Amino acid sequence: MAKIMLVDDAAFMRMMIKKALSASGYNDFIEAQDGAEAVKKYSEEKPDMVIMDITMPNMDGLQALKKIREGDPNAKVVMCTAMGQESMVVDAIKSGARDFVVKPFDAQRIVKTVNDILGK
């Protein structure tokens, strides 16, 4: 089964995504609470994909996306964003994000996105 890294400074959001994916059979998760931790854990753990918030302390999701893609140009990263941050979504897609999910998200949308990207 795929290893998925969840990156969000809100533990509640990580838990919600994990719950949605666990119900669909995913159960191998790595968690990070900011972009800097995500970059470090990505290089150590080599997850199959990343679901990452854009707005976080220390290093935001866009900076982390760029650093992860520098080390692994094939990294599969999905960005999560709050309503009204469309310009950030455009930047994320230009920087190599595969897709984005708008918060508050629908659990089925997260599962569909993960399945599509992982080819399930």
Within a domain: 87: yes
CATH code: domain of residue 23? 3.40.50.2300
pLDDT at 90: 85
Within a domain: 30: yes
Within a domain: 55: no
Q: Could you tell me which residue, 20 or 83, shows the higher pLDDT?
A: 20
Please tell me the distance from the alpha carbon of residue 60 to that of residue 101, in angstroms, as a whole number: 16
Residue 85 has pLDDT above 80, yes or no: no
**3-7, strands of its sheet edge to edge:** 28-32, 3-7, 49-53, 77-82, 99-103
- pTM for the full model? 0.94
Within a domain: 70: yes
Within a domain: 111: yes
Q: Which domain holds residue 108?
A: 3-50+61-116
Give the pLDDT confidence of 44-73 residue by residue, as tens digits. Answer: 999 999 999 999 999 999 999 999 999 999
Q: What's the number of domains the chain is made of?
A: 1
